[in-house]
Structure 1
Amino acid sequence: MPSFHNGAVEIAYLDEGEGEPIVLVHGFASSKNVNWVYPTWVSELKKHGKRVIALDHRGHGESTKLYDPEDYHLGLMAGDVRALMAHLGIYRADMMGYSMGARITALLAANNPELIRSAIIAGLGIGLVIGGGPGENVAIALEADSLDDVSDPVGRTFRAFADQTRSDRLAPAACMRGSRRLMTREEAADIKVPTLIAVGTIDEIAGSAQELQQLIPGSEVLDIPNRDHMRAVGDRVYKEGVLAFLSRRP
């Protein structure tokens, strides 16, 4: 798998297909493979004429593992995405982020709109600005000796996911503590690029997609029926909705 260095941090990535580029930004405790390859996003987008770029965040997948929460501020992680685009000579792209990756996508859409042709904010609704969902409870769950020691239901969900993906659990724990910056309502209103907000209808972590839509001018909502935070990723309605959005965005 190719990689490059952004400063001292080695970032693993994939770059496949030909056509208009789309950058995929995975969620917390996941990876480019778990979030995008295995659920067939990469193959589906390639089939529809896209050049697909996806990275492993610092602390995740095959990228450098770091254990200080200060190394996981969202601005630093957004900087890894910018650096990857520069490394590949991509000056503008569609971007889709899921959950934590949606926070990074939204931050780039607000602060670097020249890089973003369109933004797909998935697995995250009004939680982008009001918070909620995973927090210190998840970091503690990741640091526990075993899943049996975790009683918090949200913590158990993420700990089980980290065990399933064979994550280095201490790195995501540091990431959880360092990456919880919320976007202000004013920052969300600064997102002017075409934006799709895609959230499962029974996702109790993301917060309301419709409430976030009210903040982001001209944004659209894609409801993913009967899917929670973990099961929405590979959903057919989600894929079809994203492909339709990409086909009609300016």
Structure 2
Amino acid sequence: MSDVAVSRFVTATDGLKLHVRDFAARDRKALPVICLPGLARTTDDFETLAAALAAGGRRVIALDYRGRGRSDYDPDPAKYSLPVELGDVITVLTALALEPAVFVGTSRGGLLTMLMAAVRPASVAGAVLNDIGPMLEAEGLVRIKGYVGKLPTPSSYDEAARVLARLFGAQFPNLSHHDWLLSARRTYKDKDGGLVVNYDVALGKALDDFDPQKPLPDLWPQFEALKDVPVMVIRGALSDLLSATTVLEMERRHPALETLVVPDQGHAPLLTESGTISRIAAFIGRCDAERTKISG
């Protein structure tokens, strides 16, 4: 990631080391931003967004969940669960004195954001939910279950880029080979002279209980815990996980909801385009203003 950030390690309650990227603040009055990645993703996904927000003086923290990126892998795959990961996020918030903050959560990170609002509402001053909502589409979960922990082992980053383009090209039809190379370097890492995925393959077990034939639980109560703070939802126009119907219901339940649909991207939007970053930055500024109004 960018040279403007430093790596820190926070010890979880069970002793595992959690890696965060910390973009230091120049504006101490601005709300910090917590970036939470998707299920098998890492801090690298937020490099462009975090650097842009930090350039404006804001402190930004991006977290590798346990079993991802530079955080310790858990010897017990059962701990790759939302309750344990929520506890890890709370540990990081406390250790780095980051409350309250604006949360930017991609996919699983958005689920964690809604759960945080329900159990620790004072911590959340605003939320950006990137291609995630209280209802998930079975089609998208089936697709995700089909590749997490099961990606091929390529012999080079060029081959990795072609693998990712083949698997995910329908979700991101406009990405170039260069774009897929960048994605490959975020997905794989060098180890013992070869490439391996940048997460514990046992993470796939987190989806073992998912059965597309059974009704999916919803998180509407957790979403409604965000009713008193600004919320922005970003949806990829090609998303198979967050439906347009769910977004409409989110707008009905949270009338001040800000919505952004990213064309020609699926699950989950990359948050790298200047227009998207500008919208997120403006939304976070709105969170600052709302917080000032409340505290003032």
Q: Is the 8 A contact 1:97 1:103 kept in 2?
A: yes
Aligned to 1:6: 12
Deviation of the 1:216 alpha carbon: 3.5
Distance 1:42 1:130 in 2: 27
| Closer/same/farther in 2, CA of residues 175 and 243 from structure 1, 3 Å limit | same
- Cα shift readout 1:185-226 (whole Å, capped 9, x = no counterpart): 233223222111111222222222333332345322122223
Deviation of the 1:239 alpha carbon: 1.0
| Closer/same/farther in 2, CA of residues 135 and 227 from structure 1, 3 Å limit | closer
Q: Aligned to 2:23, which of 9, 16, 30?
A: 16
| Closer/same/farther in 2, CA of residues 11 and 179 from structure 1, 3 Å limit | farther
Aligned to 2:46: 36
Aligned to 1:188: 223
| Closer/same/farther in 2, CA of residues 179 and 57 from structure 1, 3 Å limit | farther
Query: Is 1:243 the counterpart of 2:278 in the alignment?
Result: no
Q: Is the 8 A contact 1:136 1:177 kept in 2?
A: no
Q: Which runs of 5+ in 1 are unaligned?
A: none
Correspondence list, 1:124-203, <5 A: 124-125=132-133, 128-135=134-141, 138-144=144-150, 146=152, 156-157=167-168, 164-165=187-188, 166-177=197-208, 182-192=217-227, 193-203=229-239
Query: Is 1:90 the counterpart of 2:98 in the alignment?
Result: yes
Distance 1:218 1:195 in 2: 8
Distance 2:282 2:58 in 1: 13
Q: Which runs of 5+ in 2 are unaligned?
A: 1-6, 155-163, 170-179, 189-196, 291-296
RMSD: 3.1
| Closer/same/farther in 2, CA of residues 120 and 102 from structure 1, 3 Å limit | same
- Cα shift readout 1:90-126 (whole Å, capped 9, x = no counterpart): 221111100111111111123211001111111214x
The alignment's TM-score, normalised by the length of structure 1, stands at 0.82
Aligned length: 239
- 1:77 partner amino acid: E
- 1:36 partner amino acid: F
Aligned to 2:267: 229
- Cα shift readout 1:32-54 (whole Å, capped 9, x = no counterpart): 01x111xx112101112210111
Aligned to 1:73: 81
Distance 2:102 2:151 in 1: 40
Distance 1:229 1:52 in 2: 23
Q: Rg: which structure is higher?
A: 2
The alignment's TM-score, normalised by the length of structure 2, stands at 0.70
| Closer/same/farther in 2, CA of residues 235 and 131 from structure 1, 3 Å limit | same
| Closer/same/farther in 2, CA of residues 15 and 142 from structure 1, 3 Å limit | closer
Moved more, 218-227 or 229-238: 229-238
| Closer/same/farther in 2, CA of residues 182 and 162 from structure 1, 3 Å limit | farther
Q: Calculate percent identity across the aligned residue pairs.
A: 21
| Partner-residue secondary structure (3-state), 1:50 | coil
